Amino acid sequence: MNGKQKFYMTLAVVQVFLVVVLIFSMNGLVRVVRAQADNFDYYNSPTTAVLAISAALAISISGLAAAHVIRTVGTAAISALSEREEAFGKLVVIVALGEAIAIYGLIIAILLVFQIPSPPA
């Protein structure tokens, strides 16, 4: 695989992972918690643990993927800038697209954290 194929493969894998985590964690697990009895232990439930672990995985894997993309694309961008300085704007946009992966992971993690059940007031 060349660099471009690795870049697109990394983007695809991270986005599929984040969508799967979002769908299965939020919808299925929260529905199970809401169906429990009144004496349900909100803080020690498996649902709370799975949602917290899913949020941690979403942010850590997307951060690692973004770091890999920025390292690869940033190195190529610096090489291209040494040859053509007028391509700076295009190269900044390409590097920023790699950073968007980390932002997607942060958004998914925030959504998952807000779905962690809390006891009724």
User: What are the structural domain ranges in the chain?
Assistant: 3-114
In this prediction the pTM is: 0.61
Calculate the CA 35 to chain-centre distance: 29
Q: Tell me, what's the pLDDT at 34?
A: 63
Mean model confidence pLDDT for the chain = 81
Report the distance separating Cα 89 and Cα 13, nearest Å.
Answer: 27
When pLDDT is cut at 50, 70 and 90, the band that residue 71 belongs to is very high
Q: Tell me, what's the pLDDT at 63?
A: 92
Q: Cβ(62)–Cβ(15) under 8 Å?
A: no
Residues making up the chain, counted from first to last: 121
Domain covering 3-114: architecture: Up-down Bundle (1.20)
Token match 């704007």: residue? 89
Contacts for 119 with CB less than 8 Å, ≥ 6 apart: 42
Report the distance separating Cα 120 and Cα 11, nearest Å.
Answer: 39
The token duo for 50 is: 């799975």
